[in-house]
Structure 1
């Protein structure tokens, strides 16, 4: 039995080793209790696995804190607001208030935005639709409306999702059993065309420009200390005034034959640099610590490149944090799957604007950071697993042998 306990202890120790995170960062500026937006910085993400599934938030008691990932591909310009007539507000019963709205545009709608006086109340609501303001049909039933409190404004804009419909009239009924009715001052639809979300510049890029005169090419090499996610590259070219050059982006690859490893450049993308364009290469979705860009000059003078900047799409965590509590964000555990928290079911009810909580400078957990594509070289992990299996087999074999010897002694 003693041998079995030793084997079990070794196996558990090995499992703990396999489940290590690679980076940790503290959360600061938690001054109020509630939902917060936590932006993941590029230097933090370079230690995490590419799909971000291995991220976990822990409080000071090592208790896991639920979160959802928010990676906006588009955001809306919320400067425009198309108002709909607010036909009627009334108290229908002791615990029910009603709001009637008319869709004067006559078009399909899949959401309605209410203008609500600042409050900390939480309501449940149902929505029905009608074409004649008489016969009503169900659309939304028993949903929760929260996040109505603002630190800065007297009014809060809340968008309620709807099944796509063409009803001329909407009736929204609120349950007022636990609090007084809401003060709804307007209704309508937020207008504006979608625009791309602001990207985050990747710091610590080492840019080297080499003129290859004999080959009539300019080579731009960008390197990082660790692999990073690259979504966009922007060129700032100052001279000549008019130019049109073919270019290609290469990434570093390697292959091994008979224990000999060869490194080579593989073309990932072909594009054009033109004085009439912004010279921004988007939608790259690369995970690299080195990219090489070759520009064909032909018989022209080389381009004067003032700067080359690389960007990545922002990724945020949304979590419910407590004021004064200390939190840590851990990442880089490639064996973890994406967590399944209840918070994801309330994503549509989360306010568009949340208090910001920031991450401190990331600290590697292991002596040697694994980087964002550590999962591409898992031989160390498998070697450890094999060693652990052999140790376990050895102790199990001895355990069985001892048991047989014990049985022979008793007989």
Structure 2
């Protein structure tokens, strides 16, 4: 006959497994899209390239991306740009600027991007701290008008060390603002201490983009101004626009780029088109429509044969098992960026990490089966009912086992 303790342990294990599977399945159902990863040859770290079609389905900060195995477990990853650089000599410290505005609340730290390069990573050095804070990153070219780049970026806690300081990489859509401001929401809390901010020049030199296509253009030349509307087939992340200008030979025009989302029109930045340098516009957009406004003055409009859109290269690094199959999930607006222990072990990742890419993006089957057949039905409630029933069963069996144990203990005393 099975002992009460052994029987109870098996019941607890089975109940916990059932609840875990139901919660895992429920979590996966919240993601609208998926993309299968190819099976890797051997176990180890892999760099997973995120194609524009997948990034278009994710949140602007990519915080809703998850890697899931065949059992439904979420697999830890880090963004590739967060890897520490080995050559400390290539680190360029940005000058700190003292220009806090009266509208700022919380700790602010402003630096000048003196490299003039487009950046999608900023390394910051902080005094050791074990508190949790989030930071907003904004950019400006004149220290007066500021534009949002990335919001709610989590600051890491210090890794155990004896130096008293630590480095963290902030990831954001590629931008070339002259000034970058970190704004920490620590109102009514003790502030944290920023020491430095800068970039690794070797990383900036290898900055790369991937094309976003197709691009549909509509042009209007009116009242000394050219308006070009760029329409994309999805809500793509766009970090660079390249204008193919064939005439005139010499030109210098002011240009503004706007992002259109529904009825809202947001200014992304103001730049200059100059025949003496590359005709690239560096922006940070997540949209399916952009407007490029070119001021011609008394000059003839520019002859533009086409505009190419690009996304900055995005990739994840994760430790994958050669015996497992994996998928990427995205499309859950309610989730926050995951916090994995892997961020503390980046030194274990080698520079020659094998690179893979996901397959075609499609609807997450789990999400489709979750959708209600009618507008007034929501099957999520049935999942929670099942969990409550399982918990009730567990409580009933626990009480029953307890009574049996007490009864047998009383019999032994008699």
Do the aligned residues in 2 keep the contact of 1:207 with 1:220 (CA within 8 Å)? no
TM-score under structure 1 length normalisation: 0.52
Do the aligned residues in 2 keep the contact of 1:251 with 1:265 (CA within 8 Å)? yes
Structure 1 portions without partners, runs of 5+: 1-11, 81-160, 165-190, 255-262, 370-382, 393-411
Aligned twin of 2:65: 55
Aligned twin of 2:276: 276
Q: Take 1:72 and 1:239, find their aligned partners in 2: how far apart are those partners?
A: 42
Cα displacement (A) at 1:19 = 5.0
Aligned twin of 1:126: none
Do the aligned residues in 2 keep the contact of 1:199 with 1:311 (CA within 8 Å)? no
Aligned twin of 1:242: 250
Q: Which moved more, 1:36-45 or 1:359-368?
A: 359-368
Do the aligned residues in 1 keep the contact of 2:28 with 2:72 (CA within 8 Å)? no
Aligned twin of 2:351: 352
**What CA deviation, in whole Å up to 9, does each residue of 1:83-129 have, x standing for no partner?**
xxxxxxxxxxxxxxxxxxxxxxxxxxxxxxxxxxxxxxxxxxxxxxx
Do the aligned residues in 1 keep the contact of 2:64 with 2:330 (CA within 8 Å)? yes
1:28 match: secondary structure: coil
- Residues 1:74 and 1:64: Cα distance change in structure 2 (over 3 Å): closer
* 1:203 partnered with 2:212: yes
Aligned twin of 1:27: 37
Aligned twin of 1:225: 233
Q: Take 2:214 and 2:63, find their aligned partners in 1: how far apart are those partners?
A: 26
**What CA deviation, in whole Å up to 9, does each residue of 1:226-261 have, x standing for no partner?**
21222222222121110111221122256xxxxxxx
Aligned twin of 2:340: 341
Aligned twin of 1:286: 285
Cα displacement (A) at 1:34 = 0.8
Q: Take 1:359 and 1:244, find their aligned partners in 2: how far apart are those partners?
A: 42
Do the aligned residues in 2 keep the contact of 1:39 with 1:315 (CA within 8 Å)? yes
Q: 1:39 is matched with which residue: 34, 49, 57? A: 49
Cα displacement (A) at 1:347 = 0.9
- Kindly report which structure 2 residues correspond to 1:108-147, keeping only aligned pairs within 5 A, or say none: none
The structure number with the bigger radius of gyration is 1
- Kindly report which structure 2 residues correspond to 1:68-83, keeping only aligned pairs within 5 A, or say none: 68-71=78-81
Q: Take 1:35 and 1:24, find their aligned partners in 2: how far apart are those partners?
A: 21
Structure 2 portions without partners, runs of 5+: 1-21, 91-160, 165-199, 369-375, 386-414
Cα displacement (A) at 1:194 = 4.8
* 1:313 partnered with 2:312: yes
- Residues 1:77 and 1:41: Cα distance change in structure 2 (over 3 Å): farther
Q: Take 1:18 and 1:351, find their aligned partners in 2: how far apart are those partners?
A: 31
Q: Take 1:75 and 1:281, find their aligned partners in 2: how far apart are those partners?
A: 28
Do the aligned residues in 2 keep the contact of 1:209 with 1:218 (CA within 8 Å)? no
Do the aligned residues in 1 keep the contact of 2:48 with 2:355 (CA within 8 Å)? yes
Q: Take 1:233 and 1:75, find their aligned partners in 2: how far apart are those partners?
A: 29
- Residues 1:36 and 1:24: Cα distance change in structure 2 (over 3 Å): same
Q: Take 1:224 and 1:21, find their aligned partners in 2: how far apart are those partners?
A: 23
- Residues 1:275 and 1:269: Cα distance change in structure 2 (over 3 Å): same
Do the aligned residues in 2 keep the contact of 1:46 with 1:229 (CA within 8 Å)? yes
Do the aligned residues in 1 keep the contact of 2:259 with 2:285 (CA within 8 Å)? no
Cα displacement (A) at 1:67 = 1.5
Cα displacement (A) at 1:71 = 2.9
Do the aligned residues in 2 keep the contact of 1:74 with 1:197 (CA within 8 Å)? no
- Kindly report which structure 2 residues correspond to 1:364-403, keeping only aligned pairs within 5 A, or say none: 364-365=363-364
Aligned twin of 2:298: 299
Do the aligned residues in 1 keep the contact of 2:63 with 2:338 (CA within 8 Å)? yes
- Residues 1:242 and 1:75: Cα distance change in structure 2 (over 3 Å): farther
Aligned twin of 2:112: none
Cα displacement (A) at 1:281 = 2.2
Structure (1/2) with the larger helix percentage = 2
Q: Take 1:285 and 1:218, find their aligned partners in 2: how far apart are those partners?
A: 22
- Residues 1:162 and 1:313: Cα distance change in structure 2 (over 3 Å): farther
Cα displacement (A) at 1:28 = 1.1
Q: Take 1:162 and 1:293, find their aligned partners in 2: how far apart are those partners?
A: 51
Q: Take 2:255 and 2:269, find their aligned partners in 1: how far apart are those partners?
A: 9
Structure (1/2) with the larger strand percentage = 1
2:207 match: secondary structure: coil
1:231 match: secondary structure: strand
Do the aligned residues in 1 keep the contact of 2:210 with 2:313 (CA within 8 Å)? no
> RMSD of aligned C-alpha atoms?
4.1
Q: Take 2:324 and 2:353, find their aligned partners in 1: how far apart are those partners?
A: 18
